Amino acid sequence: MDKYFTDGKDIVIAECRNPESIAKKKLWMLHNTRELYSISKSGYERARQVPEYKNSMNRMISSLDSGLSYESS
């Protein structure tokens, strides 16, 4: 993930399996909506530039079209 995105610029990342870290990030997002909007917009634009994005979207759409959930593929 950090190969393509920068925490606080293109994405908001909390420490995995750390409830305190997740709670802190959620509170930060609630109190910093303007910055969050900027980060989400930047992340969306960045994701559209990442080559894997198109492949992932195509796999999800194919899975949905075939009646399978994305998690089972």
For CA atoms 60, 2, 41, 36, give the dihedral sign: positive
Tell whether 73 is covered by a domain: no
Tell whether 58 is covered by a domain: yes
Burial call 15-39: b when 16+ CB within 10 Å, e when fewer: eeeeeeeeeebeeeeeeeeeeeeeb
Residue 7 pLDDT class (50, 70, 90 cuts): very high
Q: How many domains does the chain have?
A: 1
Give pLDDT tens digits for 11-57: 999 999 999 999 999 999 999 999 999 999 999 898 888 877 667 76
What's the count of helices (H) and strands (E) in the chain, helices before strands? 3, 0
Three-state DSSP class for 45? helix
Q: Which two tokens stand for residue 12?
A: 């908001």
Its pTM stands at: 0.66
Full residue range of the structural domain in which residue 42 is found: 1-68
